[in-house]
Amino acid sequence: MNRKLLRSVREYKRQTILTPVLVALEVLMEVIIPLLMANIIDVGIEQGDMGYIIRLGLLLVVLAMAALVFGAKAGQLAAIASAGYAKNLRHDIFYKVQDFSFGNIDHFSTSGLVTRLTTDITNVQMAYMFSIRLLARAPIMIILSLIMTMTISVPIALLLLVTIPVLGGVLIYIAKKAHPHFIQVFDEYDVLNNTVQENVNAARVVKAYVREEHEKEKFGKISTIVFDLFTKAEKIVAWNSPIMQFTVYAVVLIMVLIGGKSIIGGTMLTGELTSVIVYAIQILSSLMMVTFVFVQIMIAEASTDRISEVLDEVPEMEDAADAVADVPNGDIDFEHVNFSYSGEGGNLSLKDVNLHIKSGQIVGIIGGTGSAKSTLVQLIPRLYDVTEGSVKVGGIDVRKYNLKALRDQVSVVLQKNVLFTGSIYENVRWGDENASDEEVQRVCKLAQADGFIQEFPAKYETMIVEGGNNVSGGQKQRLCIARALLKKPKILILDDSTSAVDTKTDALIRQAFREEIPDTTKIIIAQRVSSVEDADVIIVMENGEINGIGTSEELLKTNKIYREVYESQVKGDADNE
């Protein structure tokens, strides 16, 4: 198993080491028991010595009980060790993912991460448990039983010595044959999880578009693939049991032949024959267990690889030791910024962007979808790093800041914003967990959210469910703005955050910003010209480049795109009245 993953065993090392020790003791008992049986038959019964039979019988019971206790304790410890190991692994992956930048998250799909945290961990846990329990058991059992057999009958021991590698080889061959199918199954699991997750997340959209039949079909298809692959793999593995049975019967038969001859010749006793038969069965079933564990380990191998990928992913952004902890003001400068989502050499989403925004300004950004408006603003709180050039906040390169300090001062309402399950209070307090009720209410008033909150029966204690499905789009947007405001940021970025809010409320929000947070730099991305018209500067984006920059008045004279959008919207509004 992967060395690096084993680091997560941590405080469960004791259980991990104790398990095989107890297993060894259990095996020792199990090896002595057939020996006692042989003596009961060969000495006690043969000589009709009842006292001897009872004495050995009692000893046998004690040993059997001891075996039971050791076995049970080993099972418990193995369960604790493996479940604890799984817990630690899950913890490590989860914490690692928290350190991921947006770029890191882009490398893995969401369902990929979920599968890693669930199915893959379970696979590793199972393999780990079987490994510490059975991998110790089999070799000890085989060696001790072989030695015991050797003391009773050398020919039978030789027979077993030949059988072990042959049967072991066959069983491993079967496991190897089935392995690729199992690997495929787990790849398909990813697809299956993805399908289910997408469907469940978007259940409302699926219903609105009456795509249930299509979704069922999609699910049915992938579900069938998983079924087929599993059947294929299990069909191969199913050979294990009959081959095993056949071998056991064949070996026992040969042993009876050899043993019978020896008994008749007087070199072996009946009890001894029964005990070697028990040893043979113990040896062969141990072999079976080993191959079973091999299959588990092989299955887990794919999972460990996938888990390692996450643990080995280098978080793109880590604070330098001398990171700047204070953002002096809300100035923003872009200097020759190029940016590509796929890193250096990739397709440029932003091309040679130069921009200078003074603290406290209101900046409007307008442009078609895909013109890189969101990409542009995501560089300011360092959700992504520039590919070339630099982005400065308060005159300092954003890469020099302590990430938390920067993000506390640069508050973004993302285009794809979400609320979390919890009350309105709890949701808004994401902005500042120590904020008083009054402060929360103040920012909600600023974001024009107080009005509708007061209309809810539970007011600020109203529970938000499922990422905000029980409030309207416009209400959700205003709650997200309130949450961002609570940080008292030096820079506030709204990425299309009032698209579902009516024009009048939109204007009230901007008015509140102007009056209540005059020193905060406000960047407003919008589709509506009316949302940016009164901004100090308006940036027109086109294909990842700045197409024009200036006040609304200036742009109307100089910028074709702005003029066209302005005319179509203002004219459209006039027509509607």
Shortest separation between residue 373's beta carbon and ligand ADP, angstroms: 4
What residues form DSSP beta bridges with 397? 392
349's contact among ligand ADP, Mg ion, none, with CB below 5 to 8 A by partner kind, is ligand ADP
Report the residue number, 57 or 368, with the smaller CB distance to Mg ion.
Answer: 368
Judged by CB under 6 A, the stretch of 59-67, 139-147, 181-189, 366-374 that binds ligand ADP is 366-374
Shortest separation between residue 105's beta carbon and ligand ADP, angstroms: 9
Q: In terms of DSSP bridges, do strands 410-413 and 362-367 run parallel, antiparallel, or are they unpaired?
A: unpaired
Segment 371 to 400, residues that bind Mg ion, using CB under 5 A: 374
Shortest separation between residue 353's beta carbon and ligand ADP, angstroms: 12
* Those residues with Cβ within 8 angstroms of residue 99's Cβ, 6 or more apart along the chain or in another chain: 315, 318
399's contact among ligand ADP, Mg ion, none, with CB below 5 to 8 A by partner kind, is none
Cβ burial, residue 430 (10 Å; 0-12/13-18/19+): middle
2's contact among ligand ADP, Mg ion, none, with CB below 5 to 8 A by partner kind, is none
* Residue 415 in the binding site for Mg ion (CB under 5 A): yes
* Residue 349 in the binding site for ligand ADP (CB under 6 A): yes
* Residue 543 in the binding site for Mg ion (CB under 5 A): no
Residue selected from 61, 91, 106, 454 as contacting ligand ADP according to rule CB under 6 A: 106
372's contact among Mg ion, ligand ADP, none, with CB below 5 to 8 A by partner kind, is ligand ADP
Q: Which residues of 330-362 are buried (b: 16+ CB within 10 A; e: fewer)?
A: bbbbbbebbbbeeeeeeebbbbebebebebbbb
Report the residue number, 342 or 354, with the smaller CB distance to ligand ADP.
Answer: 342
Shortest separation between residue 183's beta carbon and ligand ADP, angstroms: 29
Residue given tokens 């949302």 in the structure block: 531
What tokens appear for 13 in the block? 């090392």
Shortest separation between residue 520's beta carbon and Mg ion, angstroms: 21
How far CA 252 is from CA of 38, 41, 256, 277, 502, in Å, comes to 17, 19, 6, 6, 86
Dihedral, CA of residue 32, residue 37, residue 42 and residue 48, to nearest 10: 130
* Residue 373 in the binding site for ligand ADP (CB under 6 A): yes
# chain residues binding ligand ADP, by CB under 6 A: 11
Shortest separation between residue 506's beta carbon and Mg ion, angstroms: 17
Asked if residue 440 lies in contact with residue 425, where contact means CB atoms within 8 angstroms, the answer is: yes
Report the residue number, 270 or 543, with the smaller CB distance to ligand ADP.
Answer: 543
Judged by CB under 6 A, the stretch of 125-133, 178-186, 274-282, 363-371 that binds ligand ADP is 363-371
Report the residue number, 40 or 379, with the smaller CB distance to ligand ADP.
Answer: 379
Judged by CB under 6 A, the stretch of 138-146, 171-179, 250-258, 362-370 that binds ligand ADP is 362-370
Asked if residue 136 lies in contact with residue 19, where contact means CB atoms within 8 angstroms, the answer is: yes
Amino acid at 431: G
* Residue 371 in the binding site for ligand ADP (CB under 6 A): yes
Segment 316 to 375, residues that bind Mg ion, using CB under 5 A: 374
375's contact among Mg ion, ligand ADP, none, with CB below 5 to 8 A by partner kind, is ligand ADP
* Residue 123 in the binding site for ligand ADP (CB under 6 A): no
Report the residue number, 120 or 496, with the smaller CB distance to Mg ion.
Answer: 496
* Residue 569 in the binding site for Mg ion (CB under 5 A): no
Shortest separation between residue 370's beta carbon and Mg ion, angstroms: 8
Give backbone dihedrals phi and psi of 196, rounded to 5 degrees, phi first. Answer: -65, -45
Residue selected from 124, 167, 299, 372 as contacting ligand ADP according to rule CB under 6 A: 372
371's contact among ligand ADP, Mg ion, none, with CB below 5 to 8 A by partner kind, is ligand ADP
Residue selected from 344, 345, 369, 457 as contacting ligand ADP according to rule CB under 6 A: 369
Q: Residue 284: which of 171, 176, 177 has the closest Cα?
A: 171
Amino acid at 535: A
Residue selected from 367, 394, 431, 548 as contacting ligand ADP according to rule CB under 6 A: 367
How far CA 61 is from CA of 38, 51, 55, 66, 144, in Å, comes to 15, 15, 10, 9, 21
Give the angle 118-182-168 at the CA atoms, nearest 5°: 120
* Those residues with Cβ within 8 angstroms of residue 521's Cβ, 6 or more apart along the chain or in another chain: 330, 331, 332, 357, 358, 359, 360, 361, 363, 490, 491, 492
Cβ burial, residue 497 (10 Å; 0-12/13-18/19+): buried
Q: In terms of DSSP bridges, do strands 521-525 and 362-367 run parallel, antiparallel, or are they unpaired?
A: parallel
* Those residues with Cβ within 8 angstroms of residue 218's Cβ, 6 or more apart along the chain or in another chain: 195
Segment 284 to 343, residues that bind ligand ADP, using CB under 6 A: 341
Give the whole-angstrom CA distance, residue 130 versus residue 128.
Answer: 6
Judged by CB under 5 A, the stretch of 126-134, 212-220, 413-421, 447-455 that binds Mg ion is 413-421
Residue given tokens 């509607």 in the structure block: 576
489's contact among Mg ion, ligand ADP, none, with CB below 5 to 8 A by partner kind, is none
Dihedral, CA of residue 279, residue 280, residue 282 and residue 284, to nearest 10: 160
* Residue 498 in the binding site for ligand ADP (CB under 6 A): no
Judged by CB under 6 A, the stretch of 6-14, 127-135, 373-381, 545-553 that binds ligand ADP is 373-381
Report helix, strand or coil for 412. strand
The residues that touch ligand ADP, with contacts defined as CB under 6 A, are: 106, 341, 349, 367, 369-375
The residues that touch Mg ion, with contacts defined as CB under 5 A, are: 374, 415
